[in-house]
């Protein structure tokens, strides 16, 4: 049995988990998410990691794995690419998944994988950031809507208004015009969700996957976006099922922890990669 940690360093939030990795069953012991906001990313990484370790009651870890933008984390044992960690984390959370859509603050990425978590192909949004979480957050702020209300409002829309532009700046101009015409926030948000979902669906369909698509990343909790994506994928020539999990936002961190446990077994590392003394501080990070 190994106790491993996974730290997913994103542009808007840091997700950290501690896992018990053993043959016959892996288990998430603790999970913590910390918003970066406008502070030093290294400070947020150290905070999330320390909180996850404390919540797990761990004094030593066998492997500390990072993913995302965490290559330079000083207390990490190793680093794994985001495609592989999200694929492995999605499979842990739903073994039926054969593709994962990672929707982050700045981009979206679709990854196809097999039953072992091997990446078979991937696609990323290549246009302006109108398909990102940051764009949606900016629109919600302009509409005076809290992030937690975006999904429910979108689901209540009666006449969704499509957003014509894939450019974030021009799309925001579209929204300003919609508000001046008296459109409801619900119809505007659903129109944005439909536009984003259409782009995501094209990414996924271009991979030729079948079956279940797992949604990871911060926007996985957005019920309105999930509904729009489910409709977009159901209308395709190859209908696909969209699934989420309460730990969807932690899929990358979970995958990193699992791959860390796998690498440790392969390398037969001796001793612990990290111990509670000294605890990494924001200045050391």
Q: What residue ranges do the domains of the chain occupy?
A: 2-88+250-275, 95-244
Give the helix/strand (H/E) hosting 90: helix 82-93
**pLDDT in the model for residue 16:** 98
Distance between alpha carbon 281 and the CA centroid of its chain, in Å?
25
Q: Which fold has domain 2-88+250-275?
A: Nucleotidyltransferase; domain 5 (3.30.420)
Alpha carbon of 149 to those of 18, 37, 58, 130: distances in Å?
30, 20, 36, 19
What pLDDT does residue 128 have? 58
Query: What is the pLDDT, as a whole number, of residue 86?
Result: 96
**96 and 209 Cβ atoms separated by less than 8 Å:** no
Q: Is 128 exposed, middle or buried (0-12, 13-18, 19+ CB in 10 A)?
A: middle
Rounded distance between C-alpha atoms, residue 245 and residue 32, angstroms: 16
Contact 255, 84 (CB under 8 A): yes
pLDDT digit string, tens, across residues 202-235 = 899 999 998 999 999 988 999 999 999 999 998 8
> Coil, strand or helix: which one is 96?
coil
- 61-103 pLDDT tens trace: 999 999 999 998 999 999 999 999 999 999 999 999 999 999 9
Which of 106, 171, 108 lies closest to 142 in space, CA to CA? 171
Assess whether the region 2-88+250-275 and the region 95-244 belong to the same CATH fold. Answer: yes
Is the distance from CB of 195 to CB of 229 less than 8 angstroms?
no
Contact status, residue 111 vs residue 87, Cβ threshold 8 Å: yes
Where are any strands of DSSP class E within 10-96?
13-21, 27-35, 60-61, 63-68, 78-79
At residue 23, the 3 state secondary structure works out as coil
pLDDT along the chain (285 residues), means of 10: 93 94 89 92 95 95 94 93 96 96 88 94 73 80 90 94 70 84 93 89 91 93 94 84 96 97 80 58 37
- Report the b/e string of 15-27 with b at 16+ CB within 10 A: bbbbbbbeeeebe
Closest to 218 (Cα-Cα) out of 122, 125, 151, 285: 151
Fold of 95-244: Nucleotidyltransferase; domain 5 (3.30.420)
Token look-up 């073994």 returns 95
Q: Which of 205, 187, 186, 208 is nearest to 197 (CA)?
A: 205
Q: What pLDDT was estimated at residue 126?
A: 63
């Amino acid at each position: 049995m190994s106790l491993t940690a996974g730290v997913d360093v994103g542009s808007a939030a840091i997700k950290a988990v501690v896992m018990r990795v053993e043959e016959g069953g892996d288990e998430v012991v603790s999970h913590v998410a910390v918003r970066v906001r406008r502070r030093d990313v290294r400070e947020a990484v150290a905070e999330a990691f320390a909180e996850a370790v404390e919540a797990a009651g761990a004094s030593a870890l066998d492997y500390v794995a990072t993913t995302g933008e965490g290559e330079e984390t000083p207390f990490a044992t190793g680093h794994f690419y985001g495609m592989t960690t999200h694929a492995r984390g999605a499979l842990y959370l739903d073994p039926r998944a054969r593709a994962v859509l990672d929707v982050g603050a700045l981009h979206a990425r679709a990854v196809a994988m097999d039953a072992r978590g091997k990446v078979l192909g991937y696609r990323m949004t290549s246009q302006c950031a109108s398909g990102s979480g940051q764009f949606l957050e900016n629109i919600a702020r302009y509409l005076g809507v809290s992030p937690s209300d975006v999904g429910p409002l979108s689901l209540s829309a009666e006449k969704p208004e499509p957003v014509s532009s894939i450019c974030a700046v021009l799309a925001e101009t579209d929204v300003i015009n919609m508000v001046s015409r008296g459109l409801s926030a619900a119809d505007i948000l659903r129109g944005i969700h439909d536009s984003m979902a259409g782009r995501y669906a094209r990414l996924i369909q271009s991979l030729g996957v079948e079956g279940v698509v797992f949604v990871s990343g911060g926007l996985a909790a957005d019920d309105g976006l999930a509904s729009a994506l489910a409709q977009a994928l159901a209308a395709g020539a190859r209908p696909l099922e969209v699934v989420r999990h309460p730990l969807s936002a932690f899929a990358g961190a979970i995958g990193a922890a699992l791959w860390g446990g796998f690498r440790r077994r392969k390398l037969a590392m001796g001793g612990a990669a990290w111990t509670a003394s000294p605890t990494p501080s924001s200045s050391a990070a």
